Structure 1
Amino acid sequence: MDRNRERRMTPRQIIRRIGLWLCVFVIVSPAILFFLWMISLSLKFEVDNAAYPPVFFPERIAWKNYADVLASNRFLTYFVNSLIVTGSATALALLVGVPAGYGIARMAAHKSAIVILIARITPGLSYLIPLFLLFQWLGLLGTLVPQIIIHLVVTVPIVIWIMIGYFETTPMELEEAALIDGAGRWQVFRHVALPIARPGIAVAFILAVIFSWNNFVFGIVLAGRETRTLPVAVYNMISFDQLSWGPLAAAALIVTLPVLLLTVLAQRQIVAGLTAGAVKGG
């Protein structure tokens, strides 16, 4: 009887659920439509891309667009550059951010948390000009080092902010027991806090990768011809003489694919990381 009552929904609950799904559809549908249209552009020849009325499903699929992008001499170089910059910036952010988040959370250093929040919401362009002048003075412009360093401006605050929120909701009993048993603070952090915080670290890792991989402004200002990342390479495909929508859309999809796959494959870890702390803290 109780289950039947729970399954039955009142008209008000039905209306609320329909309204919720309608709002979700209205918010999400433009992004889905644009993504599907980009896929359509990447699979069409230029004749179909310039046709009016627009053609969504082409009669012939232009796999040549993807082949031309992948066959580009510099595409592999730009892909490796993106891997190096994103991987280094994310690894350094986790190396610095996870202990920093743990220390701020355990010391209840709210002023430090506010500073991290300010650093998180400050536009990256605010740091670009002074760091550009510094890298120019050091002779590092045109290398990957400035890009890795300036990406830390984005990734470190994200990691610290996420880990502060996660460590604040994890239980203290295990850490207190380890301290009573004679463990040092570093041993508690390494053997007790870190294993508990794996879901939160996974979320911080994924978000840091997404923000670093998709960053465009830093790359276009600090990178040289051989040190460009993929977002900058896609932008350089736009010319005033001719704009080929097929290869451009194919390149944009290839750039998006690694982050998209990472998000899809790690969606369970993302949900666990965003909810586990609240469950454990209850």
Structure 2
Amino acid sequence: MKKLLDKFLFAVMVLMVVAPAVSVFLWMLSLSLKNEVDTLAYPPALIPSSPTLANFIAVFDGGPFFSYFLNSVIVSGSATLMAIAVGVPAGYGITRMKARKMLLTIMIARMTPAISFLIPLFTVFQAIGLTGTLAPIIVTHMVITLPITVYIVAGYFETLPRELEEAATMDGCSVWQSFRHVALPLARPGIMVAAILAFIFSWNNFVFGAVLAGRETRTLPVAIYNVLTFEQIAWGPLAAAALLVTLPVLILTLFIQKEIVGGLTAGGVKGS
């Protein structure tokens, strides 16, 4: 009886956490399939009376959507790869040096509002003539991807048994060889989780792209903002555009959710 009650309470808690996100997603899906009459109807209805794909067509007709999609892939992919290339060795070094204060400093940089970095970075990129290209967006997105990568990877390296690296050192391996051949393969699940989360955070970022991007280098979140008009808010196309931006990340998360859960739980098991 107690186990049944515990499962019921757990299910209720999960429902309370998930319900708001699911409700917003379903309402966004509903708006994207409604015509203008259904959108403005009162009281509003979740199920459209006459579903239509006109809002999605309007999004593709309103601008080079595939070009913006490619920009987002390039920016998020590049920022993630650069964060992994820099963050994994940094996380390993921080862990082995037990530099917890440095790790805290990195997380403070992640929690600092993006506008604090945006103004000086914009000034620098404008001075060297890079504004309007993808390069400054990729670099600024490392403000998002690098700290989260270092934090996750450092926490994972901390759970790995030191005895394996010490054994490798006794066999003649250098610090770099011990990192490359022993620690790095063992930390693969943690690195995967860090890469996935870094990519998602970069994909959803709006501020840097809105200021630094040009007309042809906009990312998808910035492209959604352009759906808004001064006369009125086109809720249907706006919801359709938001759904198209959310869909790749949603599909990615569904396909690799086992990797995420496995990576997060593996570190906890090894550290116990």
TM-score under structure 2 length normalisation: 0.95
Give distance in 1, aligned partners of 2:62 and 2:150. 38
Among all aligned residue pairs of Structure 1 and Structure 2, give the percentage whose two residues are the same amino acid: 60
How big is each residue's C-alpha offset from its partner over 1:106-125, in whole Å with a ceiling of 9 and x where there is no partner?
11112221221221222222
AA of the residue aligned to 2:13 = C
Q: What CA distance in whole angstroms lies between the structure 1 residues aligned with 2:61 and 2:126?
A: 33
Residues 1:69 and 2:59 are matched in the alignment: yes
Query: What corresponds to 1:116 in structure 2?
Result: 106
Offset at residue 130 of structure 1 (A): 0.8
**What is the aligned counterpart of 2:198 among 195, 202, 208?**
208
Match of 2:150 in 1: 160
CA–CA separation in structure 1 for the residues paired with 2:43 and 2:112: 43
Deviation at 1:100, TM superposition (A): 0.4
- Contact 2:38 / 2:49 at 8 angstroms: preserved in 1? no
Q: Distance in 2 between matches of 1:114 and 1:48?
A: 50
Q: Within 5 Å, give how 1:26-175 maps onto structure 2.
A: 26-175=16-165
- The equivalent residue for 1:5 is none
Deviation at 1:165, TM superposition (A): 0.4
CA contact (8 A) 2:169 2:178 kept: yes
Kindly report the root-mean-square deviation, in angstroms, between the aligned alpha carbons of the 2 structures: 1.5
Cα distance in 2 for partners of 1:190, 1:139 equals: 38
Matched, 1:238 2:233: no
Q: Counterparts of 1:133 and 1:139 in 2: how far apart (Å)? A: 10
Instruction: Please list every run of 5 or more consecutive structure 2 residues that lacks an aligned counterpart in the other structure.
Output: none
Structure 1 residue runs without a partner (length 5+): 1-8
User: Aligned match of 1:269 in 259, 264, 269?
Assistant: 259
* Larger-Rg structure: 1
Determine the C-alpha separation between the residues in 1 that align with 2:58 and 2:239: 12
Partner of 1:224: 214
Matches of 1:86 and 1:155, distance apart in 2: 9
Q: What is the CA-CA distance between 1:55 and the residue it aligns to?
A: 2.4
State the Cα deviation string for residues 27-54 of structure 1 (Å, max 9, x = none): 3212111110000111111111111121
For 1:168, what is the secondary structure of its paired residue? helix
Equivalenced residue count is 272
Give the secondary structure class of the aligned counterpart of 2:41.
coil
| TM-score, scaled relative to structure 1 | 0.92
Contact 2:39 2:236 (C-alpha < 8 Å) held by counterparts: yes
Distance 1:34 1:278 in 2: 32
